């Protein structure tokens, strides 16, 4: 099974945020059951892409050798505005709003073809050492 991985980080500025791109693989198994006649990426996996983008931010800012894992502590103001389908390219934009201890607050957006597909405010934990 292919994964929902980041293909490229297109912008990163420590203390400000990250922009990354990727593509939704056709080969994800859940497309067989998640509306087979009209396959779309489940919303929870859209949020997973945003979380993975934040993890990539910390990986690069900390120049970490091992993989960094964050935990989604809170999510607010989630809005799903556009379907994401297999084979479509996406771009994630995460703006760092605040950091307190091992928690970070983000304004996160996932785009497809210039349209916002998902937007949310996220609080992540497990980011100590930043």
Q: For position 41, which CATH number holds? A: 3.10.129.10
pLDDT tens profile 68-116: 889 999 999 999 999 999 999 999 999 999 999 889 999 999 999 999 9
Q: Determine, yes or no, domain membership for 130.
A: no
Number of structural domains the chain divides into: 1
Task: Return the higher-pLDDT residue of 62 and 117.
Answer: 117
In angstroms, rounded to a whole number, what is the distance separating the alpha carbons of residues 100 and 114? 32
Q: Determine, yes or no, domain membership for 106.
A: yes
CA gyration radius for the chain?
A: 14
Domain that holds residue 46: 8-125
In angstroms, rounded to a whole number, what is the distance separating the alpha carbons of residues 110 and 19? 10
């Amino acid at each position: 099974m292919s994964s929902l991985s980041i293909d490229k980080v297109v912008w990163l500025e420590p203390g400000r945020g990250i922009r990354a791109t990727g593509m939704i693989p056709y080969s994800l198994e859940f497309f067989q059951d998640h509306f087979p006649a009209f396959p779309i990426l489940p919303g929870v996996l859209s949020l997973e892409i945003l979380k993975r983008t934040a993890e990539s931010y910390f990986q690069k800012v900390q120049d970490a050798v091992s993989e960094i894992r964050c935990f989604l502590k809170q999510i607010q103001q989630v809005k799903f505005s556009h379907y994401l389908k297999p084979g479509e390219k996406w771009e994630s934009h995460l703006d760092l709003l605040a950091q307190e201890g091992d928690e970070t607050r983000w304004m996160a957006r996932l785009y497809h073809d210039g349209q916002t597909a998902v937007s949310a405010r996220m609080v992540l934990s497990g980011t100590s050492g930043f």
